Amino acid sequence: MFSSNCSEPEAQIIAYKTQQYKLLPGLAMAYATKFTFDCVWRSFEEMQKKAAAGDFSMLPEVSPLKSSDMNVVCLTNFF
């Protein structure tokens, strides 16, 4: 049974391959989503500054990027 005087340290959950297979895909998706969002946000802020100055040259570039990212986020949340 269980003993409080066990001399071996308990194995960490991440050391088990089955737990890595469950954890790492979600973790990778979280990082990918965060980095993509940061990039899109910087582009959006730059476009806002240029638009305030009357320069709308980034508008065709930002709109499809935003739309495609929303599709990815919505699909990954659905499954």
pLDDT of 2-54, one tens digit each? 556 667 788 787 788 888 888 888 899 899 888 888 887 888 888 889 889 99
Q: Is 10 a member of any domain?
A: no
Q: Is 2 a member of any domain?
A: no
**Confidence (pTM):** 0.57
Q: Is 3 a member of any domain?
A: no
- Kindly give the residue spans of alpha helices, DSSP state H, lying in the chain: 17-52, 59-78
Query: Looking at the 3D structure of the chain, how many domains does it have?
Result: 1
Residue pair 25/72 in contact by the 8 Å Cβ criterion: no
Query: Does 79 have pLDDT greater than 50?
Result: no
Angle at 39 between CA 25 and CA 67, to 5 degrees: 80
Q: Is 4 a member of any domain?
A: no
Note down the domain range covering 40.
15-78
Q: Is 65 a member of any domain?
A: yes
